[in-house]
Each structure stands twice: as C-alpha cells, then as structure tokens.
Structure 1
Amino acid sequence: MQQRARFYSLTIFLAVTLSIVTGVSAEPDKPVIRLWPIEMVGVEKNRLREEQIVRKDKISVTNVLDPNLTVYLAKSDRPTAAVIFCPGGAYKKLSYRPEEEIKKWNDLGISLFLLKYTVPDNPDAAFKDIQRAVRLIRHQADKWNIDPNRIGLQGNSAGGHLCVRLSQNYQQKVYEPIDDADRVRCNPNFVIARSAAYFQGRKSDLEFDEALFPMKNKVAPTFLTYSKDDKFSIGGTEYAKRLKKAGGTVHLKLFKGGGHGMRGCDWFTPATLWLKANKIIE
C-alpha cells in the first residue's frame, strides 16, 4: 500500500511539472510565420509539427519539421528594432524560458521573433532557416512595424553559434530562391551572442573553426558574453580577437562565474547599454 501511494505521488508530481506536447505549440494570440512552402517540409501532415516538453518555466522543443517564427511585437507608433531569438540546445533541441528570455525585449521597445529552427542534428538546415527568417522579416517590415535597418540576432549557446555564423556567411547561397523575400538581403544589423558554442568545432577538436568563421565579409556589430568558467569562452574570446583584428566591431563581456548557462549573471543590462551606444535603441 505504501509503495502504491509513493507511485501515485510521483505520478502526480510528474503531471504537474512535466508536460509533453506534439504539434503546434505557439501561443494562441501570437502570429506564426512559417519559413518554407508546405511541399518543402513534407506536405500538410508536417505543418508546424514539433515535440515540446514544458518544465515549469522552461520549454524544450525538438523534432522541428516545419521551421517557423513566433511574433512578439513591441507596442510603438514608430517602426521598432527587431531581434530574431535563436534558442540553444546543442543543435539537438531548442531550450528557452519565455518570461526570462523573450518578453523582456518588448520592454525595451524591440519586437522579438522566436526562431524555431530545424533540430535535431542539422546545423546546415538551421543555417538555411536563419537566412530565410531574416529575409522574411525584412521583406515584411511594414507589416510588422519593423525598421528593416535594425534587424538583429540574439542566440544562446548553439543558437549563438548560428547567429554568428550568419553574420560571417550571409553572402553564401545555400538554397534556391522561392519568392520575392529571397531578393532581400539576409545580413543582420547587429548580433548578441550569449555563451556561443562551437567556435572550435562541435567536438571542440579544432584550434579555431576558420572554415566557418573566415573573417572575410563585413560583419555586423557583435556583443559576446560568457562566464569565464564556461569551456566555450575560450573559442569566443579567440573569435572576438580575430574579429577585432579584421576590423570588426565587437564587445566581449566576461563574468567570473556562472557556467555555460551564465547562472546569476546579469548580461542583459550591459547588452542594453551596448544597444544604446550603437544607436539601435534610444
């Protein structure tokens, strides 16, 4: 009897703290922009298909079959800056905390677009997704009250890697044009990368991934932030040094501790000051 009671208690605990959802999971009142025509994502059965796990304040998404953007618009009479947010998760899942990592951008007067890029284990497909995402938002700037010259990227961990990859390689042609949106440029106007991973390769087996980060193109102003005890900070510091040497604008903010998740680090305040210094927001 006592063992059965413990089993029921555990079952109730899991039901309260863990929710698994298959299918579209966007907030009902938030618009969703699908990136690709339905025939490119496996026809109608895959429309907005994903697997989502909700643990209290954290959401993890995987098996994204129909990459998309969820729109969080800032209230403004004038065109706003925009951030495309790329969650981390080792290119295996997308993990983020909505209250902590999404809605605060609106308080700055910045509209945010949550990018659910292709996962798991397909960084090159994710790179196509982020190119297409920037083009669609810039192409639809009037619709979303966005300033097309103030569209930036913010990414965590693998998402930060993806953002910086685009800032370096926006001229690469990685898919055939689909519509008028693909006539629009996909280079970001600014980049904020938090705990960006894999500058030394996904297996950390390189000194520096020069193939993916060649320092050849004009790169958007970049804000990098790490905890010093994060193993990926070594690659990020090297990236900042190389970008500065190449003539790029980069700001590296390091915190003493906090690990890869930057626990307890207020990186958002210096990032906000950086945005103001670069005249992206007032």
Structure 2
Amino acid sequence: MTIDFRARALRVAVPVFAASMLAFGGGGASAQEPLVNEQVISLWNGRPAGTPDTLEPYIVERSKDLFRADRALMGIADPSLTVILPEHPNGTSLIVAPGGSYRRVVLDKEGIEIGKVLANEGVTTFLLAYRLPGEGHEAGPDVTLADGQRAVRLVRAHAEEWGLEPDRIGILGFSAAGHLAASVATAYDREAYAPVDAADSLSARPDFTVLVYPVVTMEDPYAHAGSREALLGKEPTAEDEALYSPERHVTAQTPQTFMVLADNDPSVPSQNAIDFYLALHQAGVPAELHVFSDGRHGFGIRKAADQGMPVAGWPALLGDWMRYNHFIVEDTE
C-alpha cells in the first residue's frame, strides 16, 4: 500500500489556546498560528472482515457552546488514522486514541486539541478512530486491540517514506482509550487479527506510551463499569476480566510510560493508573506518574486551561518527558 501525505492534504490553522499550552517544556510556540496538514488513512483499506454491513458512521455534537465543538463519533465501520503533519516534522510520531467509554470516540477535546499542540513541537500525530466493541463486530473485544496494533504497524511500515523514525512511535490514550493504549503496550504480540499485508509482519510494540486519566483494569473494585460493559458485556467471566486487564500483563519489554490524571476523578478511579505504574515499576520499566489534586475527568487541554487548573500544565510535562527520553530530539544545526 502506497500512501502520500501530499495527495489529499488540507491546510488548516491551529488555534493558539495559550502560550503555556502550546509550549512543551519551555520549547515555545510561535506567535504566528502554525499550519499543519491533515489527511485520513484507512487502517484496513475499507470495512474490515467481521464488521456489520449495516454499520454506518455518524457524529453527535454534544457542545452547548456554539464556538467550541465537542463531537463524538460512532458507527465506526472503516477505522482510520487522521494525520496531523507539522510544518517541520522531527521524526517522532504519536498515535492518539480519544476516549469515550468504548461507546464513542471523542474527536475534539481528546483528539484534535492534542494533535495541534504536538504539531508545534514537530511531532506527527495520527488520530485513531477505532472500532467500538459493542457495535456488533465478530471479533468482539479484540477489535480495539487489533486497530491499535494495526495502527502501530502501519505507521512503522511507512515511516521512511513519511520521514519518521521507526523507533520513535508512541501511543497515547485518553480515558477508555487509555485501556486501548495500555493493551497495545502490553499485548502488542498477542494475535488479535489475521495478517492482511506486509505491514503485519512488523512489530506492533510502541516505543513509548502516554496515558491520560486512563481506564486500565477490568477487575473490581477499580474497573470503570461502563467501559467494561462496552468491552466485555454485562456478565464477563473472571478469565476475560484478567485477560483484558493490562496491569496484569506488564513485562520488562513493556514500553516506558508517562501518565497524568486527577486525584478527584469521579469517573475512573485513580487506582487504575497507580496500579499500572506499580506494575511497571516492579518490572523495571521506566515510568512517570503525575497525579493532580484537581481536574476531575475529561480535563483535556483547553478545558483545563480555561478553568485555570494546575493540571493544565500537563502538555509541558509530557514535552519535558519526551525530550529527556529522546523522543523529541532538538535540532542542533
């Protein structure tokens, strides 16, 4: 499969939310609103096998503010990557999976916002529209893992032609998609689908993982009930709960991880991220965990900044972490 970013590229302005939001670790954002390219790439070149023929995509606008979108995508029959390509790509890429309780994919506050912030640092973002397990797919709960694995492999397969480094590919998951990202990080070698092309011969292991107010466990007492039901059904077995709980499957080969959340999250218990951190620590995997006292759930970027929350600084912390670990490499020329 040959994919050319330039073939269907669109020019869009990046809104400047606040200098502190767009500046990673003091790197600074341009006073001018930068331009990025956007393009949509099908993960499977169309509707994957096992996807209901009647399933069609639709978007629900949930915002009460005429000037701020809050769209949710459902009916995902053709999973895709929407590429946000910076003016000056630095070779690092991040696959971003927005949350939505595994019942929807939140497009704006957990997708486009972070993609445009990352563009200021030269990071190429791939926004992942993944299949929702409760929409009748034959593969059931494995559709999310399959789409995550396929996304990593597809980016790695085309890294050279896209000007990306195959060993600087990360995955970021918000909320329920934190479970997706943690699953890819810990089950990258689990056979979640039958290979479809040469890209599937490559490793699906991300080089780093970012989890933002993540769902992780499927086991009581800390499971997020809505995400678990959407993924595993109303009466999952103990064996399935354990199989789909990423904190149980951390090894020394799990990618290093950055996590951020609020201690007063009323939706997803903070123990989800804490237990994943403890599993990483026990396995000797470098990990960084930031727990803010206030922020609740779904703070995103712009919402946290508008409300003046300390958690609004999390993109800068992520940038510092990526620099320190050489996932963002400064241009010394």
Coarse TM-score class (shorter-chain normalised): 0.7 to 0.9
TM-score by length of 1: 0.81
2:79 maps to 67
Q: Specify the alignment match of 1:177 in structure 2.
A: 195
In the other structure, the counterpart of 1:254 is 291
Describe the SS at the equivalent of 1:138.
Answer: helix
Normalized per residue, which structure has more strand? Answer: 1
Q: Shift of the alpha carbon at 1:42?
A: 7.3
Matched, 1:51 2:53: no
* Local SS of the residue matching 1:103: helix
1:38 to 33, 46, 52: 46
Could you say which residue in structure 2 is the equivalent of 1:9?
none
Aligned CA distance change for structure 1 residues 27 and 260 (closer, same or farther; 3 Å): farther
**SS at the partner of 1:161?**
helix
CA contact (8 A) 1:151 1:190 kept: yes
Q: What is the one-letter code of the residue matched to 1:268?
A: P
- 1:96, CA displacement in angstroms? 3.3
Q: Is the 8 A contact 1:41 1:65 kept in 2?
A: no
2:102 to 91, 101, 122: 91
Considering only aligned residues, what root-mean-square deviation do their CA atoms show, in Å? 2.6
Q: Distance in 2 between matches of 1:217 and 1:236?
A: 18
Per the alignment, residue 213 of structure 2 pairs with 195
Q: Deviation at 1:70?
A: 0.8
Written as runs of structure 1 = structure 2, the 5 A alignment for 1:113-192 is 113-119=126-132, 121=134, 122-192=140-210
- State whether structure 2 residue 277 is matched by structure 1 residue 270: no
Offset of 1:143 from its aligned partner?
A: 2.4
Structure-1 separation of matches of 2:87 and 2:163: 9
Flag the structure with more relative contact order, 1 or 2, with Cα contacts below 8 A and sequence separation at least 6.
Answer: 2
State the shift of 1:58 in Å. 1.8
The answer to whether the 8 Å contact 1:91/1:123 transfers is no
Alpha-carbon distance, 1:243 to partner: 1.2
Q: Distance in 2 between matches of 1:217 and 1:190?
A: 13
Tell me the amino acid that sits aligned with residue 99 of structure 2: G
2:121 is the alignment partner of 1:108: yes
Question: Which secondary structure does the structure 2 equivalent of 1:252 belong to?
Answer: strand
- Shift of the 27–125 alpha-carbon distance from structure 1 to 2, 3 Å rule, reads farther
Q: Which has the larger radius of gyration?
A: 1
**1:245 counterpart = 2:245:** no
The separation in 2 between residues aligned to 1:135 and 1:46, in whole angstroms, is: 28
1:99 and 1:130 map into 2 onto residues whose CA distance is 18
Shift of 1:178: 0.9
Structure 2 residue ranges without an equivalent (≥5): 1-7, 12-37, 135-139, 229-235
Residues 237, 248 of structure 1: alpha-carbon distance in 2 compared, 3 angstrom cutoff:
same
Quote the offset at 1:93 in angstroms. 0.2
- CA distance 1:126–1:176, shift in 2 (3 Å): same
Measure the CA separation in 2 of the matches of 1:278 and 1:232.
Answer: 28
Rounded Cα–Cα distance in structure 2 between residues aligned with 1:236 and 1:130 = 19
CA distance in structure 2 between the partners assigned to 1:149 and 1:167 by the alignment: 14
TM-score calculated relative to the size of structure 2: 0.69
Per-residue CA distance 1:119-161 (angstroms, 9 max, x = gap): 2535420110010111011001122211111000111001111
What count of residue pairs does the alignment treat as equivalent? 252
Shift of 1:165: 0.9
Write the letter of the residue equivalent to 2:256: P
Q: CA-to-partner distance for each residue in 1:222-254, whole Å, 9 max, x for gaps?
A: 001110012421121111012101111111001
8 Å Cα contact 1:93/1:120 also seen in 2? no
Whether the 8 Å contact between 1:153 and 1:191 is mirrored in structure 2 is yes
Structure 1 vs Structure 2: percent identity of aligned residues?
28
Where does the alignment leave 5 or more consecutive residues of structure 1 unmatched? 1-25
Residues 240-249 or 109-118, more deviating: 240-249
Q: Secondary structure at the match of 2:96?
A: strand
